[in-house]
Amino acid sequence: MTSRIVNRTNSRDILSALAISAALLWAAPAHALTQAEIGDLQGPERQKILEDGARKEGKVTIYSGMIVDQALRPITEAFMKKYPYIKAEYWRADSNKIVQKILAEARAKSIVADVAESTSLSEPLIKANVVLPFNSPQLEAYPADYRDPRRFWGATRFSYFGVAYNTNMIKAADAPKSYEDLLDPKWKGKLAWREGSDSGNLLFITNIIMEMGEQKADAYFQKLAQQKIVNFTGSARTLVNNVMSGEYPMALNIFLHHPVISAQKGAPVAALPLQPVPSLNGTVLFVKGAPNPHAAMLLIDYMLSKEGQATLEAADYLPAHPDASTNAILASIIPKKAGLKENFITPQKLFDLNDKAEDALKKYFKN
Amino acid sequence: MTMTPAAWDGSAAPAPASAARRFGISPLVGILAALLLVFLVPPTIYLVQTSLYTTNYDGSFDQFTFRFYIELFTNPRFFNNLVNASIYAIGSAAVALTLGTLQAWIVERTNTPLRQYVFLISIVSLGIPSVLYTVSFLLILGKAGPINQLLMELTGSATPLLNVYSMWGMVIIEGIDFAPLTFLLLSSVFRSNDASFEEASMMSGAGISQTFRHITLRLATPGIMALLILIFIRAFESFETPALVGRPGNVNVLTTDIYQSIQATNPPNYGQAGAFSMALMLIVILLLIWYNRLSRHAEKYQTITGKGFRPRAMDLGKWRFLTAGLLVLMFIIMIGLPVGIVIYASFLPYYEGVTAKSLTQFTLANYAQVFNSASFKGAIGNTLILGAATASLVCPFTALCAWLAARRHRGAWILDQLATMPLIFPAIVMGVAFLNVFLHMPFALYGTLLSVILASMVRYLPYGMRYSYAGVLQVHRELEEASSLSGARQSTTFLRIVVPLITPALITCWLFVFLLSVKAVAAQILLVGPRSQVIAVTLFDLWENGQVTELAAMGVTWMSLMTVVSTIFYLIARRYGLSIR
């Protein structure tokens, strides 16, 4: 015990000595680094500067849409193991709530979040000017599509969306095979989708508009509205749990890996991709005004690293790192592997089509 | 007016005193009124402003517009939701009143065994957060819950028969949730009825049920009517049940639409939330006016007169076992089942109804998770601070206001009016209003526990006023006059005579404000940040995030803590003969 403490003190002294010399060597003026400068850090001294700063900060807060017991808790715990002097706190919410919270914090000049991570939150945050660009050596391994040219985000994970149904209530042979099949009157009152989230019913509508064109999509929605779809308001994971427990026989536009994970554990649920399969990438962002910018950058690095991505893989998520493998059981829902047509919707495109999708939602499904 | 002081010695500065005197307000009243206005005016102004301006992407106000009001009145959804809210409020008021009236009559007017425990149980049940209560009924009545399992077993149906995510589900759950409070408020109404009317009825040959219907219920009618409107208003502005039960079933009401506009729309539609809030507030104001009219005519039915008034219980004979059975049945439905299912779920890895298989999977993992989680400990600490701070700020303040108003200090009626004003803000509307105040503050207040406490303090002022008033009215002026005549100053009289005499009322006030403020979700959900999480909001988030079994473990832990608090209070109350209404 004693020797470990001594060791740690020693290494801390050495590290801070290194950091001080690094700071002196650094071309920047002698003042403490601004947050923008921390984001822009590059080169061999970066890690030491970050670690030294993070030691003083001692904590970091992430807002994320990852499900707590599956991915968010494991990845923050693994991060704390790597950096025992940083206490990582998380707050889980759907993307919209995260965006709302960060905008409110920025307005009130009372910023708590250091890092934001989820699907479909990058564009609103960038547009509202509440995030800063950053460099991460980890991003070098990623293909260009998986990182923002403006350096505002890096891709953390992929999500493929489709149908989940309760296998006790619906036989595989009877399950819908296409979006048209969803219009069958036999599904009336049996469908649920997520309301109030960009990756919920809005994504479903966006995907249909992109696939069919506005006019045909309009006619489709008119018919789909007859099915009296339940507007579920919890997380996508909760919706799948409700399908498993028999609360709703079938859910539209959920994260396809969720039912796969549960089916593996024996739950009566199946994942059903409909073509084209809409897909989004999760992104991680550096919040402007973050109270713990050094620790924030370390956490972002970690989430993008092969090591951090491995915790996502272990949680049966779909990591974005090109070297990370995905669990074999997920092959059936990854369009490239299953030979299905995919519609990859970039954050920008999702954002651009948001108003049209909102209009359709209001017109057909909200009254 | 010999008792009216020229000035509140010590605390009032002379300059404002002379200015205030001109307007017929004593300086102390002026200071207190100013304090109240500081907390009431900004949220009101920001709420009105929010509904009249478009909001920029960063959240600042942009252009003046009537758009949100036009949208409101041209949108069929608004009227649809209005109808929903009305049906829901009437239905749940009816359920709560039926249960509450029956309980209050059995406890107050009969010699039913076990009746003395109903008070304790009702007070304990006040400590259960509404979210937890609602969730427990969803676990019981949901498609995967034991009731549907039983019905499917009995009827041989392959699909669940009951859909709790519907209007009837909302009505039943909200009604049962309100029943304990209804009972507590009604029991005093029944108690103050003179038993001689009932005795006369019985002696004239009327049976128990006839006497109950024609005498007891008739005499209690104004009390019950006033309560009916009160519950109607509370249900109309309630948030938890509509959010958790109604929204998944597409049954929307005004409060859930307000929440939706801010939390589930990207970017948040503050204007729409503002317009909806204003509409909801207007409706509540109209209802409150109606309520005040009704309760003003209550004296027609007064039965406590100068002649020897002794409330007496009615002897039910052997029927008292039936009423005891009814009490037990109500206890099972209102407390036993919901608490039971939450405890049961807290030991499961995942909830899938009550099955033989789940019994073999019992685990302590949820409790381990809860006790090891720093955020849970933080939430417990925050919630206790929130409740204690709210109660400690509200009760002494309203006691002073109530005393000044009761002793007719010049202008003190203003304090009464101002302190009761927050009643017109439904909880979620108050959340919207304070959210906007905190977002416009030049310093960082949003997301802090202090901000949540401030909003909570304003929200519970009227409740504090009600309890303090009751205490102050019991103290006769003579005692204060004796103090003054002996040469005591006004402040000495207040601190040495009034305060000790109204201490029991203050303790009651403290506990009720504490219990009410820690169980609420609606007023806090828009204000808390990750650093100021409170239990009720955490439970709400856990439900939305699907962590049902962890929610259950957290709920059980919190309920145990609150039961200890309530029981201690109940014992103190019994020991010192405090009024617990």
| In-domain check, residue B63 | no
| In-domain check, residue B1 | no
Q: Give the per-residue pLDDT at B298.
A: 55
pLDDT range class, residue B8, cuts 50, 70, 90: very low
Letter for the amino acid at A28? A
pLDDT of B370 strictly over 90: no
Pick from A94, A96, A103: CB nearest B59:
A103
A61 and A171 belong to one structural domain? no
Q: Give the per-residue pLDDT at B578.
A: 57
Q: Which residue has the higher pLDDT, A164 or B186?
A: A164
| CATH number of A252's domain | 3.40.190.10
Q: Give the per-residue pLDDT at B58.
A: 65
Q: Give the per-residue pLDDT at A55.
A: 95
DSSP, residue by residue, B458-494: HHHHHHHHHHHHHHHHTS-HHHHHHHHHTT--HHHHI
A103 and A154 belong to one structural domain? yes
Q: Give the per-residue pLDDT at B193.
A: 64
The share of chain B scoring above pLDDT 70, in percent, equals: 90
| In-domain check, residue B504 | yes
pLDDT range class, residue B493, cuts 50, 70, 90: confident
The shortest C-alpha distance from B420 to chain A (Å) reads 29
| Average model confidence (pLDDT) across chain A | 86
Q: Which domain holds residue B559?
A: 23-44+76-261+287-576
**B567 inside 8 A of chain A by CB:** no
> Residue written as tokens 């008739």?
B218
| In-domain check, residue B276 | no
Q: What is the pLDDT of residues B138-158, one digit of tens each?
A: 999 987 788 888 888 888 877
**Count of the separate structural domains present in chain B:** 1
Does the bond joining B442 to the residue before it have cis omega, within 30 degrees of 0? no
A194 and A246 belong to one structural domain? yes
pLDDT range class, residue B6, cuts 50, 70, 90: very low
| In-domain check, residue B398 | yes
ipTM: 0.73
**Count of the separate structural domains present in chain A:** 2
Q: How many CB pairs under 8 A join A and B?
A: 141
A112 and A154 belong to one structural domain? yes
| In-domain check, residue B127 | yes
β-pair partners for A286:
A115, A132
Q: Which residue has the higher pLDDT, B207 or A201?
A: A201
- Interface test with chain B among A68, A90, A191, A264, by most B beta carbons within 10 Å: A68
Q: Give the per-residue pLDDT at A52.
A: 94
A10 and A33 belong to one structural domain? yes
Rounded mean pLDDT of B270-296? Answer: 86
Q: Which residue has the higher pLDDT, B124 or A81?
A: A81
| In-domain check, residue A253 | yes
pLDDT of B539 strictly over 50: yes
Nearest Cα residue to B382 out of B453, B322, B315, B433: B453
Q: Give the per-residue pLDDT at A59.
A: 93
pLDDT range class, residue B535, cuts 50, 70, 90: very high
| CATH number of B154's domain | 1.10.3720.10
Residue B169's H or E segment, with its range, is helix B167-191
pTM, two decimals, is 0.81
CB < 8 Å from B in window 140-179 of A: 169
Eight-state DSSP code of residue A131: E
CB < 8 Å from A in window 381-440 of B: 435, 438-440
Q: How far apart are CA A235 and CA A118, in angstroms?
A: 12
Rounded mean pLDDT of A98-122? Answer: 89
Q: Give the per-residue pLDDT at B22.
A: 53
Q: What is the pLDDT of residues B74-125, one digit of tens each?
A: 888 888 899 999 999 999 999 999 999 889 888 888 888 888 888 888 887 8
A232 and A307 belong to one structural domain? no
Q: Give the per-residue pLDDT at A6.
A: 41
Q: Give the per-residue pLDDT at B579.
A: 53
CB < 8 Å from A in window 245-264 of B: 247-250, 260, 262-264
pLDDT of A9 strictly over 50: no
Q: Which residue has the higher pLDDT, A327 or B179?
A: B179
| In-domain check, residue A343 | yes
| In-domain check, residue B407 | yes
A308 and A338 belong to one structural domain? no
Q: Give the per-residue pLDDT at B554.
A: 93
Asked if A230's CB is within 8 angstroms of B248's CB, the reply is yes
A30 and A86 belong to one structural domain? yes
Pick from B59, B60, B530: CB nearest A91:
B530
The shortest C-alpha distance from B135 to chain A (Å) reads 13
CB < 8 Å from A in window 176-215 of B: none
Q: Which domain holds residue A17?
A: 2-158+281-319
Asked if A100's CB is within 8 angstroms of B262's CB, the reply is yes
pLDDT range class, residue B222, cuts 50, 70, 90: confident
A333 and A205 belong to one structural domain? yes
| In-domain check, residue A367 | no
**B550 inside 8 A of chain A by CB:** yes
pLDDT of B9 strictly over 70: no
A145 and A289 belong to one structural domain? yes
What angle, rounded to 10 degrees, do the helices at B548-576 and B374-406 form? 40
Helices (H), chain A: 2-25, 35-40, 46-57, 73-82, 95-107, 122-127, 201-212, 214-225, 236-244, 257-264, 293-304, 306-314, 335-338, 347-352, 354-360
pLDDT range class, residue A31, cuts 50, 70, 90: low
pLDDT of B136 strictly over 70: yes
CB < 8 Å from B in window 200-239 of A: 228, 230-235, 237-238
pLDDT range class, residue B194, cuts 50, 70, 90: low
